[in-house]
Amino acid sequence: MERYREGDVCNMSKVLVGMPVMGDMNIEAVKCLMQLEHDGQVDIISNSLVYDARDKIAMDALASEVDYVMWLDSDVIYPQDIIKVLMSRDKDMVTGLYYKRTAPFSPCIYTRKDDDKLYTYLDYPEDELFKVDAAGFGCMLMKASVIKAVHKKFGGCFFPVNGIGGEDLSFIKRASECGIEVWCDSSVKCGHMGQLIVMPDKNIIQMPE
């Protein structure tokens, strides 16, 4: 799949990078953020309540009148050109591919089955752009218009919904009720750091000492 064409990428200064941080940032995450191809605003919000941190970033995005928010988790590593690649897909919400950092190391993308429950999307197409029913926010590019629509309809964005899961899936439930779709580009492969770095090809990398 083609990475991107420059003509498909808008003004990078109109992208806000939002990163909620729940503790200390790993040095690998810091290096990754410093190497990111981006010349706009970066919001790093430290808060013990991740949904509150995400809400603050979302409201800052609206106040700053940016076009996009690139959500990045502080325990995820990603390609330097992730913003350009995902932006070129021209979707309201599009994520790269990353896996959970603990066994059984499953992808953080989900599909809804006939019982209306979300299940891990295991048989996803390789190196393709495809629609999912939900995804984690570890490497999610979102148009700011999505935040505006969700906030207008619900009066908030990331506060948890009982029985849904985390703040990311709660947001996606609200977004879906606004008619917004979520996509995944499985050619954009990201790592998830714990004691190890877990990559989508199930290559497990030992963290540096």
List the structure tokens of 6. 């420059």
- CATH classification of the domain holding 132: 3.90.550.40
Strand-by-strand arrangement of the 76-77 sheet: 76-77, 191-193, 196-198, 204-206
- Residue 176: give the domain boundaries: 8-201
In-domain check, residue 3: no
Q: Do residues 182 and 93 touch, judged by C-beta distance below 8 A?
A: yes
In-domain check, residue 208: no
Q: Which residue has the tokens 């218009």?
A: 145
Tens digit of each residue's pLDDT, the chain (209 residues)? 666 565 555 666 799 999 999 888 888 889 999 999 998 999 999 877 899 999 999 999 999 999 999 999 999 999 999 999 999 999 999 999 999 988 888 999 999 988 888 999 999 999 999 999 999 999 999 999 999 999 999 999 999 887 777 899 999 999 999 999 999 999 999 999 887 788 887 666 655 54
Burial environment of residue 39 by CB neighbours within 10 A (0 to 12, 13 to 18, 19 or more): exposed
3-state helix, strand, coil in the chain (%, to 5): 30, 30, 45
Angle formed at CA 117 by CA 202 and CA 106, multiple of 5 degrees: 5
Q: What is the Cβ-side half-sphere exposure of residue 7, based on CA atoms within 13 angstroms? A: 0
The angle that helices 144-154 and 50-64 make with each other, rounded to 10 degrees, is 110
Q: Is the pTM of this model over 0.75?
A: yes
In-domain check, residue 164: yes
74 vs 24: CA distance, rounded Å: 9
